[in-house]
Amino acid sequence: MSKLSLKTFTMLQTATSVGLSVLAWVVTGVRPIWNGSLPSDRQRIYFANHTSHGDFILLSACLSEKERAITHAVAAGEYWGKSRLRRFIAEDMLSSVLINRQWTRPEENPIEIMLSVLDQGHSLILFPEGTRNMTDQPLLAFRSGLYNLSMARPQVELIPCWIENMSRVLPKGQFLPVPLLCRVVFGAPVTVAPGEERRAFLDRAHTTLLALNPRPERDD
């Protein structure tokens, strides 16, 4: 890619990021609530509940422009890689990291792909449920990725984030958002305790995230 093309591409990526953040603020009036953590330039893995394709856009809108530029949502390659257009939107416009949950080749290993992003000094947005939650349960059981990443890169902060109302703003199968007020609650960092087993940590991280739900009587 030529220097001019690269510059144009970078400007387009930045414009897309800013435009989506503005759209998120206009449609949802999103309000970040920092409850145990604060905005920071420190490298992080933001882990959140997942009910809508718009979740990562809402979370990203709560970050500074500098943080957004180096924070990448982890997305399902099975969905976003189905067509050239979807892949272009996810990887080139939204700077997402695509992983295949049913991988077979070593180069497709999701953990290695995510670690390569972290090793560049970038941050991640991770949905540890592994899929959008379309059930009546407020939060699905966590898969092991969050634990594996933390064990491999313990210096990276794990920040729980509860995303409220996004399933109503952009329900499954819909492309036009419904204006509703939303909040993203950022909790205190979570770390793997010395000697803590995988399932114990994942259950504790799950409980910590669920406790951030500002309306526990209602599913989001």
Reported as a single tens digit per residue, the pLDDT across 39-48 is 999 999 999 9
Q: The domain at 6-213 falls in which architecture?
A: 3-Layer(aba) Sandwich (3.40)
Looking at the predicted structure, is the pLDDT value of residue 2 above 50?
Answer: no
> Angle between the 145-152 and 198-210 helix axes, to the nearest 10 degrees?
110
- Among 131-145, 161-175, 192-206, the range with the most confident prediction by mean pLDDT is 192-206
Check if the beta carbon of residue 140 is closer than 8 Å to that of residue 85. no
Q: Which pLDDT score is estimated for 4? A: 46
* Backbone φ/ψ region at 44: left (φ over 0), alpha (ψ -120 to 50), beta: beta
Mean pLDDT score, 50-71: 90
Reported as a single tens digit per residue, the pLDDT across 8-30 is 656 666 666 666 667 666 767 78
Residue 98, token pair as written in the block: 């695509």
- Structural domain boundaries of the chain? 6-213
Q: Could you tell me how many helices (H) and strands (E) the chain has, helices first? A: 9, 7
The mean predicted confidence, pLDDT, of the chain is 86
Q: Which of 1-5, 9-13, 59-63, 72-76 has the lowest mean pLDDT?
A: 1-5
